[in-house]
Structure 1
């Protein structure tokens, strides 16, 4: 909201009398100043704005130059004895911006830089003679963005082969545009999908012409030349991985290499399955600074993480070699598993990590049952909630288990086992682990009580809660039958119905069995009394299919840096 200054018109006068007062446009809202005894008149939207911004990355100079042109028009009419005017206007600039200048009609304007709550952003405010109703003014800005060192509070970066910085253009709908010009060999990421690429030979221009919010365009962009990197090779259990860091960031290279050597073996032990491969490179990049997340890209066989020295984040991405959409059904489940595993491993190897996500408010407006969370979610608030809720749900499901018990559950989940088959047996009823199969594994293999309660609070919707109720009755009947039949397994058809949560079918199978389970138990008891071995129960076996690595490309956006 932009508020012009107000001045009361002197009695009998038809012309406004200029007054020195501050009124900020752009990203700043101006205050309203009136005589204490005068009635207050407030303008709702008294300023038309159009802004066109251009940012150019000069890689050789290690800086970004920016040119911003803004035209404002005062549309607040006089009201009663008051006139409204603007005499200054501000735009957002990176906090470390240098050589900030503003001109209007060929004349230089006084510019003041003001700090904000964001250590990466400052406000550049230009002053000019009063802009009265119906009048327009064009202000041309220029500044240089030199960037800050890695891991400094100011997130702006401009270095050899990489850059991340904020871009903006405040204005009315249809009256804003932002251009970012980069060397053609650099990749581009942004917090908005409003940018379209326009190749131009040695450079590429990324242009946005639609607003990202009510006030125009605001985005964080990043650029990266993967060819400019320092790298190391790391040998872990016979695998060779390449670690690529920013030129000169030796500290990150040492950190990442050390965590790979410590963390990968610890991950294998906790997951209960050997390293499945599918990874060649771990790359330090500025893109997570812009996108808000790190990722595991199976198409490029690489993990992309920010500059932070955060072992849990690195282990989270490594965990996606096991926990990904090919092996685990449901975004909440593979993200929650990856985070819980990462946190446990980071604690086991005593590695430096950022703080874990706090338990979110289940009653928040953005809250949703986790089974409804999917890839491609547009809302940052929903993403933040769902990541935290997924971690909370999986952590509560597994928190009472030691590492050995966790490994048994997690290995079975990765292998696609049924909780109703012997551990390690995938001859029957093997499948991708969805939320239903995982709950069975947690409660049957892990011996956890109260898993369904966690599901009701965090995971399922109303219809799925009804499935949990049917499961409770079916589970009680199945356990009673399994106890009655002695050391034999219940019939495969019943095990399959329970695995698939086909509880009506399970009821039919139990009815068809009649007294057979009890009689089977009696036969075994009689054999033992006679000193004979338990009678074997013959059941056809099928060959366990070999596991193959999927060729489907998956880029996993994970928790924010």
Structure 2
């Protein structure tokens, strides 16, 4: 978000050409030509600013009066000190005043300036290191806002060539001569609209402040690297984050999943006051601008949970980071950089759909984007409650769907969490049955194309609720879920029509399973969850129904009275009841082929029981006859032997 300094600087530039005219004069018209030179003095940690001014009164004398100016006023930096003014004859009187919150140097002219006269003088002042938030002059880093003065201007800035220079905002051309780099603006026809944010960095020694924090049930090393000429920043940032990280983890409700040490690096910030749009957060590393408020460290730390892998839309990442950073900031008594609600209302003329926001690290659109994102997440948390928000964040992190297949949204082992966009974020926040956020998203987040889809979405979500009720615990099939996740609501409705037809057949079938004394296997539910009400699910149902029918027929036959010969035939064969019990168990496990085999074997035993009984009886008679014959033969032999 553009900093307050940026906005102020533009105001300063707008006021840079103000002059004071006596009340008797006509409305002021003048020409204020300036040439401003900024010189960086690293040894003394100072920036010397000199402005050569040629001030011409171009207001004609009114009838009977004179057009005169007694003074000239130029806006100067808030951190300015040692403010002086001189003309060719010596020192001029300078008074510092405030006008509309702007620091103004009022230079009293040597003599009243009449029409077509020109006064020339030099305004000078210093900008010491730290004189304002974005002014630093040290061996490690030089940063300062550079602007121009008057109605037409040119600006130069000299600094040691050892610095690698970066210019944000209006550009300046760099040339290096010997040990000095000069940045030049060229002619500036509209100084009121010109601003350059200059930073220079050179390689210097760094020092590391180390702390140990408990995250994710583990001890994690926190390492904060600062420039050797700013060790206080490293110490204070390490102390703050050591307290903040565990609080962030508890507030977010998701264990920190990173590995290795947490690395924080002091850097040159972008112009995002309080959010540090120029900072980087990736993996377990954070870069934070040296001049940023303490809240920025909390905001950037929260991005370790809410980075590009979590959400593809910037407003989601930034809004969540600000929301949770604010919760921790209140606990740690860290001031908030803005009132998100008030700032959003103030910037309402700049409003746009947050889903369209691309961070540029400058401009009023970013100011609105940061404030409105924060405000929107605050409203979500207030309406849904912290537990519902935490549940949604867990689903997103784990790769779950807002439309769980079986009522438990744990992803399959092959699931990989994908970054969510604004539409899927809305789905996760509302869950599969919740309502209440669509109007907020329509007002703040979604582009018109997505808003036009909301009525179809509402109808489809109502149908999902009805489908879940009809499914009686089976949840939402994957084809429906995939269509809903993709906001393909016509496809979702078509898939739900197929699913409802299938469920009607299922509801007719399951009582038959129960009446047969069987337990329905998970196969049918699994097929429904994977394929919905399509052909494959119906094929599965028919296959199971065939097994149930065969089992019912076999159990009915097995329960009928048996003749003597059938009982004899089954006495030595497999018991049909045992085979049917095996079939029952196999069916419950989902082994339809094994169940069908056991049923078939039971049927074969029943079919052959009578014949087997006759065969058994015949075999028994033959055995008995043979036994009798053997006994008779043995008796005769013993009798004959006795006679001898």
**Aligning the two structures, in what range does the TM-score lie when normalised by the shorter sequence?**
0.7 to 0.9
3-state SS of 1:170 partner = coil
> CA 1:33–1:296 in structure 2 vs 1: closer, same or farther (change >3 Å)?
closer
Contact 1:171–1:216 (CA<8 Å) still a contact in 2?
no
> CA 1:75–1:519 in structure 2 vs 1: closer, same or farther (change >3 Å)?
same
Deviates more, 1:89-98 or 1:71-80: 89-98
Q: Which residue of 2 aligns with 1:42?
A: 27
Residues 1:367 and 2:342 aligned together: no
- String of CA shifts for 1:206-244, please: whole Å, max 9, x gaps: 332365966364455444446255431334445544323
Q: CA deviation at 1:155?
A: 5.9
Residues 1:479 and 2:465 aligned together: yes
3-state SS of 2:420 partner = coil
Unaligned runs of 5+ in 2: 1-14, 531-644
Q: CA deviation at 1:410?
A: 1.3
Q: Which residue of 2 aligns with 1:275?
A: 257
For 1:227 and 1:207, locate their aligned partners in 2 and report how far apart those are by CA, in whole Å: 27
Q: CA deviation at 1:251?
A: 5.2
Q: Which residue of 1 aligns with 2:438?
A: 452
Residues 1:127 and 2:109 aligned together: yes
Could you tell me the TM-score, scaled by structure 1's length? 0.77
Could you tell me the TM-score, scaled by structure 2's length? 0.68
- String of CA shifts for 1:271-312, please: whole Å, max 9, x gaps: 5253346986424456457877514325895421344662x4
For 1:362 and 1:449, locate their aligned partners in 2 and report how far apart those are by CA, in whole Å: 29
Deviates more, 1:210-219 or 1:487-496: 210-219
Residues 1:505 and 2:491 aligned together: yes
Residues 1:322 and 2:305 aligned together: yes
For 2:396 and 2:47, locate their aligned partners in 1 and report how far apart those are by CA, in whole Å: 49
Larger radius of gyration: 2
Q: CA deviation at 1:26?
A: 4.3
Q: CA deviation at 1:442?
A: 0.9
Unaligned runs of 5+ in 1: 1-24, 35-39, 542-561
Q: How does 1:97-496 map to 2 (within 5 A)?
A: 97-104=80-87, 106-116=88-98, 121-148=103-130, 156-159=135-138, 161-172=140-151, 175-188=152-165, 192-209=169-186, 211=188, 215=192, 217-219=194-196, 221-225=198-202, 227=204, 229-236=206-213, 237=218, 239-245=220-226, 252-269=233-250, 270=252, 272-276=254-258, 281-285=263-267, 287=269, 293-294=275-276, 295-297=278-280, 301-307=285-291, 310=294, 312-347=295-330, 350=332, 352-354=334-336, 357-359=339-341, 360-361=344-345, 364-376=348-360, 379-380=363-364, 382-399=365-382, 405-421=388-404, 422-425=408-411, 427=414, 431-444=418-431, 448-496=434-482
Q: CA deviation at 1:201?
A: 4.6
Contact 2:70–2:109 (CA<8 Å) still a contact in 1?
yes
Q: CA deviation at 1:501?
A: 0.5
Give the number of aligned pairs.
Answer: 501
Please, what is the CA RMSD of the aligned residues?
A: 3.7
- Partner of residue 67 from structure 2, selected from 81, 84, 88: 84
For 1:414 and 1:325, locate their aligned partners in 2 and report how far apart those are by CA, in whole Å: 12
Q: CA deviation at 1:474?
A: 0.4
3-state SS of 2:452 partner = helix
3-state SS of 1:79 partner = coil
Query: Which structure ranks higher in relative contact order (CA pairs < 8 Å, sequence separation ≥ 6)?
Result: 1
Q: Which residue of 1 aligns with 2:46?
A: 63
For 1:168 and 1:363, locate their aligned partners in 2 and report how far apart those are by CA, in whole Å: 25
For 1:356 and 1:383, locate their aligned partners in 2 and report how far apart those are by CA, in whole Å: 14
- Partner of residue 33 from structure 1, selected from 20, 23, 34: 23
